[in-house]
Amino acid sequence: MNFFESQRLARAQSKRLVLMFALAVLAVVAAIDLTLVLVLFAGQERGEVEALSFTQILSANTGALIGGALATAGLIVVASMFKMATLRSGGSAVAQSLGGTLVSSDTRNPHHRRLRNVVEEIAIASGVPVPQIYVLEQEAGINAFAAGYSPADAAVAVTRGAMEKLTRDELQGVIAHEFSHVLNGDMRLNIKLMGVLFGILVLGIVGRKLLENMRHVRDSKATVPLLVAAIAVTLIGYTGVFFGRMIKARISREREYLADASAVQFTRQTQGIAGALKKVGGLAEGSKLENAEAEEVSHMLFGDGVGYSALFATHPPLVDRIKRLDPQFNPSQYGEIARRWSAPVDVLALDAEMERSGIAGLAAGAAVKAGSAKAGAALPARKAELSVNPELVASQVGNPAQDDYRTADAIHQQIPKALQDAAHDQTQAMELVFALLLDNDPAISARQLSMIASHAGSSAMSTTEELLPKVGGLHPMSRLPLAAMAFPGIRRFPRPNLEQFTALLEKLIHADGKIGLFEYCLAKLVSSQVTDLLNPTRATAIGKRKLIQCREQIGILFSIVAAFGHDDEPSAKRAFAGGINSLFQQSSPGYQVPANWVQALDGALPDLDALDSAAKEMLIEALVTTISTDGQVAVGEAELLRVVCAGLHCPLPPMLVAA
């Protein structure tokens, strides 16, 4: 399943979630009203007056029943909205609610550094910003999750058990599994599910709290009705628990097999993720989480963190998952795993030993670390041209595979340590982005530096100037990944600083409208990621608009890309026609480069980002056709394509697949 099909499935699942939520609310409301009628029926005095029938009580108390139904539904909706509000800050809020500890970008903890390097490399290979990284230090089980509304506000959390028990290959398999959820739209659905289910479960929570507080009530006459009410509310609340667990099982179970398969496709080997799953089954701690809030996130986890029965299981049976990866697996192997791994093992030393012996899969980027020359060989020459196929390139979106991880590792090694340190340093992360955006024209860059001094201070301007020569020597394929590495440091600034940062980015890219197209797109990309971070609930990668509704905006984008990619107007027009004619059979827009292309793109990109997934897939194929009219794509053009795709929330891996 490719990225665009996954997005369509995620939208369909969102609709099913709304339907199932509505049915669950109706079931809880019906249970409340039925209980009320039964209480009224049982509470009648049996005397000379004939007791009312069940139906008569129902008709006599219609108003009360409607009021009870509305109050119950209102409580559920308000509780869901409240929970969604607490999750407004995105993935970090979920990780922190489980006691997650943020891994600082400059950490010296060797386990944390290994985890950070794995996450960074997989993010670069996926074409998304590096997420915030958390460790659940109190959890000995092997587990992990990704949470957030979009890649810009995503957080990846792993347990202490995962760091201490998994080799690097196994950790990579787990993180690749979680990135599948980030890329395929599962993550946004999962965090919405948390908010929705809280509303359904709220009556059970209220009933449980009432029962817990019963011991404080001393009046025996008041105790009985309160006890009855508490028990009734608790029992009815379990109706919500039943439906809540059923919804989670229905939504999440089928996605786990896909995420496992994506991890194998990404890492090019099954031993990593299969090994992690085998350790989950073989060790006493398994994947269980001890945190009391574990049930809320059970549908997000890599492994079953709660221990549901088969009916409510949010994950497929563990043995089934393993056998899909290793058909020869026998559960009797759990005993050997327990014998070898129950005692503490130095996995860092084991990683180093595996690397020296040459038996590690992707461990520590062994192939790249063999020498700098070999590392450089993984990337094409700066002026190289790539032979590409538009359909194959579109299939790469959100779908890293084959050598994408090794390419990301090579890019990581190509970036000088001074720039990596700047990306990891919160005080320099913003200035690093500024340096990436400065124009090659000295007059324009001087004006931009003046803007930086005016809005961010002379210190920011000085740091930007210091970084500029180092950025100038970067391989073109390293610029976007470097910005992705800087994003965790940027996102830790307070909201006012982030708003000032995006405002300054806008000013820099509008400096006389003479900034290069790549720099413009990169600035818009970083700005949109910060905007998604500031308003995560509004961020979405799944639009509804059709191509015909964005005809004018598509014409603007294709005209500008064709003009920047060709030296003369006839060649640009041929390239434009080659791409645009594949989208529109009739009434296709004409080639026309706006006089103020910066302003024109400012207006066009948000509309194009609102296209539905099928339209985006066709758009990207056509855009590749425009860029590769002669069947070749220069490295600079490939990077421009990646930036445009990222701006459309369609992350493209660093190396375009050859035709």
Nearest to 618 by CA among 585, 594, 591: 585
Q: Which of 10-24, 275-289, 325-339, 405-419 has the lowest mean pLDDT?
A: 10-24
Q: Based on the fold, state whether residues 185 and 195 are members of the same structural domain.
A: no
pLDDT of residue 372: 38
Nearby residues of 423 by Cβ (< 8 Å), 6 or more positions away: 105, 429, 432, 482, 485, 486, 489
Q: Which of 487, 519, 538 marks a domain boundary?
A: 538
Q: For residue 73, count CB atoms less than 10 angstroms from its CB and return exposed for 0-12, middle for 13-18, buried for 19 or more.
A: middle
Nearby residues of 26 by Cβ (< 8 Å), 6 or more positions away: none
pLDDT band at 183 (very low <50, low <70, confident <90, very high): confident
Q: Based on the fold, state whether residues 72 and 96 are members of the same structural domain.
A: no
Q: Based on the fold, state whether residues 562 and 585 are members of the same structural domain.
A: yes
Yes or no: say if 464 and 452 are a contact pair by the CB < 8 Å rule: yes
Q: Based on the fold, state whether residues 159 and 292 are members of the same structural domain.
A: yes
pLDDT of residue 374: 39
In a domain, 421, yes or no: yes
Q: Which of 167-176, 362-371, 450-459 has the lowest mean pLDDT?
A: 362-371
Query: By three-state DSSP, how is residue 267 classified?
Result: helix
Nearest to 178 by CA among 103, 260, 247, 252: 260
Question: What's the structural domain count of the chain?
Answer: 4
pLDDT 10s digits, 202-212: 777 777 777 76
- pLDDT(38) > 80: no
In a domain, 657, yes or no: no
- pLDDT(154) > 80: yes
Q: Which residue has the higher pLDDT, 19 or 223?
A: 19
In a domain, 655, yes or no: no
pLDDT of residue 193: 79
- pLDDT(399) > 50: yes
- pLDDT(40) > 70: no
pLDDT band at 45 (very low <50, low <70, confident <90, very high): low
Query: By three-state DSSP, how is residue 454 classified?
Result: helix
pLDDT 10s digits, 493-504: 999 999 999 999
Q: Based on the fold, state whether residues 525 and 601 are members of the same structural domain.
A: no
pLDDT of residue 334: 93
In a domain, 391, yes or no: yes
Range of the domain at 521: 412-538
In a domain, 249, yes or no: no
Q: Which residue has the higher pLDDT, 54 or 426?
A: 426
Q: Based on the fold, state whether residues 500 and 588 are members of the same structural domain.
A: no
Q: Based on the fold, state whether residues 502 and 610 are members of the same structural domain.
A: no
pLDDT of residue 539: 66
In a domain, 622, yes or no: yes
pLDDT 10s digits, 545-573: 899 999 999 999 999 999 888 888 999 99
Nearest to 114 by CA among 155, 161, 156, 172: 172
Which residues are the active-site residues? 178
Q: What is the SS3 assignment for 216-260?
A: HCCCHHHHHHHHHHHHHHHHHHHHHHHHHHHHHHHHHHHHHHHHH
Q: Based on the fold, state whether residues 485 and 571 are members of the same structural domain.
A: no
d(CA 174, CA 563): 43
Q: Based on the fold, state whether residues 460 and 594 are members of the same structural domain.
A: no
- pLDDT(541) > 90: no
In a domain, 632, yes or no: yes
Q: Based on the fold, state whether residues 501 and 598 are members of the same structural domain.
A: no
Q: At 291, which CATH number?
A: 3.30.2010.10
Nearby residues of 411 by Cβ (< 8 Å), 6 or more positions away: 124, 379, 475, 477, 478, 481, 654
Of these ranges, 4-8, 12-16, 371-375, 441-445, the one predicted with the greatest mean pLDDT is 441-445
pLDDT 10s digits, 567-616: 889 999 999 999 999 898 778 889 999 988 888 888 898 899 999 888 99
pLDDT of residue 540: 60
In a domain, 449, yes or no: yes
pLDDT of residue 546: 92
Average pLDDT, the chain: 83
pLDDT of residue 375: 40
Q: Based on the fold, state whether residues 445 and 569 are members of the same structural domain.
A: no
Q: Based on the fold, state whether residues 421 and 528 are members of the same structural domain.
A: yes
pLDDT of residue 46: 54
pLDDT of residue 648: 87
